[in-house]
Amino acid sequence: MTKALPLRCENLSKSYGPRSLFAGVNLELAPRERLALLGASGSGKSTLLHCLSGVAAPDAGSVWLGGEKLDQLDGEALAACRRQQIGTVFQFFHLLPTLTAEENIELPLQLLGQPKPKRRARVAALLERMGIANRAHAFPSELSGGEMQRIAIARAIAHQPPIIFADEPTGNLDRKAGIAVLQLLEEITNEENAALLMVTHSEEAAAICQRRYHLVDGSLQSA
């Protein structure tokens, strides 16, 4: 039996009042495949990301995460699916301020009930891989923007999800830190066998992706 793709959607549509944000969207993402979703501010690209990740429900169409059809899941099953199948990287990091770097990374593993020795080994390996092992006990307020985004990436992949959703991952970083984060995302998707769907307005960020789409007037157009 063929293993399910990390992400697939068919005929996805979403409107707000009379305005159609997008309609008839069809996408597939395979392991290690990186896709950039570009568009002007307010074009609906973040809303599309929310529908694909199960945060919001589309008006029509279907989304599958790792073979699970989201509209067939109840609230508890959907939450469990998202915890297992997805890692998310945000523009503003969304680290928990009362947890240290290593505790932030460990959190998704705790939520999945992994045993403590396994969690600690994975966190230590990720801190080393991200080049920030010396910041393990630092709180977010003590970290630079680039360090916080490295922690956020480590947290996103800690549980080895099939797909990573990244919403403007370099939007709150200076250019040097942004380039380093993009290189890391490119390397990590290959190392972890994960797909990446990145929402961005930056052509430079989109350059790490094998496929690019622009959301223009509600239509998804291949770039």
Residue 179 lies in a domain: yes
Residue 39 lies in a domain: yes
pLDDT-derived band of residue 218, with 50, 70 and 90 as boundaries?
confident
E strands present in 66-170: 68-69, 86-89, 163-167
Residue 163 lies in a domain: yes
Position 1 pLDDT exceeds 70: no
Determine the average pLDDT of the residues in 100-120. 96
Q: Residue 209 is part of a domain; what is its CATH number? A: 3.40.50.300
At 77 the three-state DSSP class reads: helix
Residue 70 lies in a domain: no
Query: How big is the chain, counted in residues?
Result: 223
Q: pLDDT tens digits, residue range 5-14?
A: 999 999 999 9
Tokens found for residue 36: 């950039």
pLDDT-derived band of residue 210, with 50, 70 and 90 as boundaries?
very high
The dihedral through the CA atoms of 2, 52, 155, 195 has a sign that is positive
Q: pLDDT tens digits, residue range 70-97?
A: 999 999 999 999 999 999 999 889 999 9
At 115 the three-state DSSP class reads: coil
Residue 108 lies in a domain: yes
Mean pLDDT (the chain) is 93
What is the total count of domains within the chain? 1
Tokens 């307005």, residue located: 201
Query: Measured between alpha carbons, how far is 70 from 63 in angstroms, rounded to an integer?
Result: 6
Q: pLDDT tens digits, residue range 22-59?
A: 999 999 999 999 999 998 888 889 899 999 999 999 99
Residue 95 lies in a domain: yes
Residue 101 lies in a domain: yes
Residue 58 lies in a domain: no
Per the structure, the complete domain to which residue 153 belongs is given by: 34-43+78-222
pLDDT-derived band of residue 156, with 50, 70 and 90 as boundaries?
very high
